[in-house]
Amino acid sequence: MRCIAVCQTELLIRMLDEALASSFEVVEFLVESKPLARKLHDAGLSVFPGDPHRTDTYLKADVTPATCVIVEDTGKRGMRRTLEAIRDAGAALVYVVGIGCGDAHKHEEELRAFFPEVNFLPMGDLFGQPLLIEFSRSLTRLKVQQYQRFFSDADRVVILLHNDPDPDAMASGLALRNVLRRTKQTAVIAAQQGATRPENIRMQNLLDIHVEDITPDQLPGFDRIAMVDVQPHYFGDAFHRVDLVIDHHPEQPGYSAVFKDIRSNYGSTSTILTEHLRAVDANISERTATAMLYAIKSDTLFFNRQANRVDLEAFSYLYPLADATMIRKMEGAEITMERLEYVLKAKQNGRMVEQVFCSFIGASPREDFIPYVADFYLQLEDVKWTIVAGIVNDSLVISVRNLGYGRNAGEFVRKYFADVPPRAPDRRQASRESVTQGHACRSVRCEGSRRNR
Ligand SMILES: [Mn+2]
C-alpha cells in the first residue's frame, strides 16, 4: 500500500518516515518548501515538492482511493483548500494529524464540519499513551528496586495472605517471592487459615503451592512481613506496622507500611505484580504465570467485573508464558457432589417470585456453599436476583446476587443489614464482596462481619 504524507515540519516528516516505513510499501512526502524538500531528499527520504492546494499535484502523484493520505494540520487557513484538493483528486483514506497549534480543538471542529469523511488524529493522543506507559513503568521500577533492597538482607520473610486464600492471593504470593528472588525456604507464603474452597485447594495441589499455617505468635520470628491481596486492618489489631503491602482493594487507614502499592482500580493484585515483574525484567516461571493468569481470570470473572486495560494487558503478557490446559483443570473443580447437594436443598426449600429466587439452605459446614448456590441459580433463565441464606457455625450468612451493572445487591445488603453490629475482632472471618459476571453481590454474616473484601 502507498502512503503520501503532506507535511511541512521536518520533525514530523522524519517521525512518520520512521514509523510507517515497515507498514507501507511506499512512503512519500509532499513538501511545499523546496529547500526542505532538497534537504530531506539528500537524507534519503522520498520527497517531492509541490503546491498542496492544487488538485493536479495529487493527480500527478497518482493518488487513488486506495492511497493513504496523511496531512499535517499546522492550524493555518490553507488546510481547507488542501483537503478539498485531495478530495477532488479522488483520495478516500485521508488522515489529518493535528499538531496542536493555536486553538487546535476549534480548528478541528471547523474542518470536521466540512470534511466529515476525514479522520482526525491529534498528536497528543498518538504519543501520549505510550509515553505515559513508559513513565509509569519507570516509577514502578523505582518502587520495586527500593523494596527489593529493603528485603535483600533479611534472613526470613513471610508473605501473609488473607484467610481461605483465593487464586489471586496465592498467585500474588508466588509472584512476590519471584520479585524478591527468594525460595520457599527464605520467603514463606502463609495464612492464618488455609484454603477451604474446592477450586482453591485444587489450584494449590495442581500448582504445588505451599501455604503454611501460621499463628500470630509465630510472626515475630520473621525479619520482614509482606502482605498481598490484603491489608493489615483485615487482621484486626494484630499489625500496626508491616514492611510491604500490595493490594487492589480500597486503601484502608490505621496502619503504617514501609512500602506499599495499592491500586484499587486494578482488577487483581496479580495485575499489579505482573507490572512489578515486568518493570524489573524478571523471569516468570510457567507455574507462576499460570497461577497469575488464573488469578486475573477469576478475580475479574473473566473481565466481567472491574477489569480494565491494565488487567487485559497483564493477561496478554502472561498468556504465552502460562499453561492453559492447567487452568482448565483448575476451573473444573467448581462443581462438586457436595455443592450439588446444597443446590438441591435450595431447590426444595426455595421460592421463585417473579425474577427473584430465594432460599434457605439450613446448616452448612462451609460458608462457600451459600454464595455458590446463589451464583448457581443466577444462571437460570428469567432469574435476575438470588437471595440465599444458611447457617455456618453460629452465624446466619446471606448471599445476595443480581444481574445488571449497578452494585444493586451490595446496596440491598447495606440497606437491610448495615445496622448489624460488627463482630469481635478475634472472630473476624475472611470476608468478601464479590461480583459475579459483572453483577454486584455481597454476602453478609448477619451478626456483622463487614463484608468488604
Ligand atoms: Mn484479589
pLDDT > 70? residue 430: no
- CA–centroid distance, residue 384 to ligand 1 (Å): 26
Tell me the three cell numbers of residue 147. Answer: 523494596
Phi, psi of 59 (to 5 degrees): -65, -40
Residue written as grid cell 464479590: 434
- CA–centroid distance, residue 269 to ligand 1 (Å): 5
Contact 300, 306 (CB under 8 A): yes
- CA–centroid distance, residue 84 to ligand 1 (Å): 55
Over range 253-275, report the average pLDDT. Answer: 93
- CA–centroid distance, residue 261 to ligand 1 (Å): 14
- CA–centroid distance, residue 419 to ligand 1 (Å): 27
- CA–centroid distance, residue 169 to ligand 1 (Å): 6
- CA–centroid distance, residue 263 to ligand 1 (Å): 11
Domain 2-117 has CATH 3.40.50.720: yes
- CA–centroid distance, residue 51 to ligand 1 (Å): 60
- CA–centroid distance, residue 396 to ligand 1 (Å): 25
Confidence of residue 238 (pLDDT cuts 50, 70, 90): confident
Confidence of residue 405 (pLDDT cuts 50, 70, 90): low
**pLDDT tens digits for 50-81?**
999 999 999 999 999 999 999 999 777 789 99
- CA–centroid distance, residue 246 to ligand 1 (Å): 10
- CA–centroid distance, residue 122 to ligand 1 (Å): 37
More confident residue, 445 or 212: 212
- CA–centroid distance, residue 4 to ligand 1 (Å): 49
AA letter at 390:
G
Residue 453 CA to residue 442 CA, distance in Å, equals: 10
- CA–centroid distance, residue 270 to ligand 1 (Å): 7
- b/e for 84-118, b at 16 or more Cβ within 10 A? ebbbebebebbebbbbeeeebeebbeebeeebeeb
Shortest CA distance to 371 belongs to which of 334, 400, 393? 400
Question: First vs last Cα of the chain: how many Å apart?
Answer: 53
- CA–centroid distance, residue 168 to ligand 1 (Å): 5
Contact 38, 10 (CB under 8 A): no
Over range 395-401, report the average pLDDT. Answer: 88
Tell me the three cell numbers of residue 357. Answer: 429466587
- CA–centroid distance, residue 300 to ligand 1 (Å): 9
**pLDDT tens digits for 107-161?**
888 888 999 999 998 888 888 888 888 899 999 999 999 999 999 999 999 999 9
- Average pLDDT taken over every residue of the chain: 86
Shortest CA distance to 305 belongs to which of 242, 353, 375? 375
| Category of 262 on φ-ψ map: left (φ > 0), alpha (ψ -120 to 50) or beta | beta
What is the structure's pLDDT at 333? Answer: 64
- CA–centroid distance, residue 309 to ligand 1 (Å): 17
pLDDT > 70? residue 423: no
Residue 121 CA to residue 112 CA, distance in Å, equals: 12
Residue 101 CA to residue 196 CA, distance in Å, equals: 61
336-445: CATH architecture: Roll (3.10)
DSSP 3-state of 97: strand
Q: If one looks up domain 132-333 in CATH, what number appears? A: 3.90.1640.10
- CA–centroid distance, residue 104 to ligand 1 (Å): 43
Return the bridge partners of 212, or none.
190
pLDDT > 90? residue 319: yes
- CA–centroid distance, residue 268 to ligand 1 (Å): 5
Please state at what angle helix 123-152 crosses helix 269-279, rounded to 10 degrees.
90
What is the structure's pLDDT at 208? Answer: 93
- CA–centroid distance, residue 199 to ligand 1 (Å): 15
Domain boundaries, the chain: 2-117, 132-333, 336-445
- CA–centroid distance, residue 314 to ligand 1 (Å): 14
**pLDDT tens digits for 130-140?**
888 889 999 99
What is the structure's pLDDT at 199? Answer: 80
Shortest CA distance to 439 belongs to which of 415, 408, 417? 408
| Category of 432 on φ-ψ map: left (φ > 0), alpha (ψ -120 to 50) or beta | beta
| Category of 331 on φ-ψ map: left (φ > 0), alpha (ψ -120 to 50) or beta | alpha
Residue 175's Cβ-side half-sphere holds a number of Cα atoms within 13 Å equal to 37
Q: What is the CB neighbour count within 10 angstroms for residue 424?
A: 11
Tell me the three cell numbers of residue 65. Answer: 482511493
DSSP 185-247: TTEEEEESS---SHHHHHHHHHHT---EE--GGGGGG-SEEEEESS-GGGGTTS-SEEEEEEE
pLDDT > 60? residue 274: yes
- CA–centroid distance, residue 94 to ligand 1 (Å): 45
- CA–centroid distance, residue 406 to ligand 1 (Å): 20
Residue 298 CA to residue 199 CA, distance in Å, equals: 11
Contact 241, 257 (CB under 8 A): yes
pLDDT > 50? residue 433: no
Shortest CA distance to 295 belongs to which of 341, 246, 337, 261? 246
**pLDDT tens digits for 171-225?**
999 999 999 999 999 999 999 999 988 888 889 999 999 999 999 889 989 999 9
- CA–centroid distance, residue 262 to ligand 1 (Å): 12
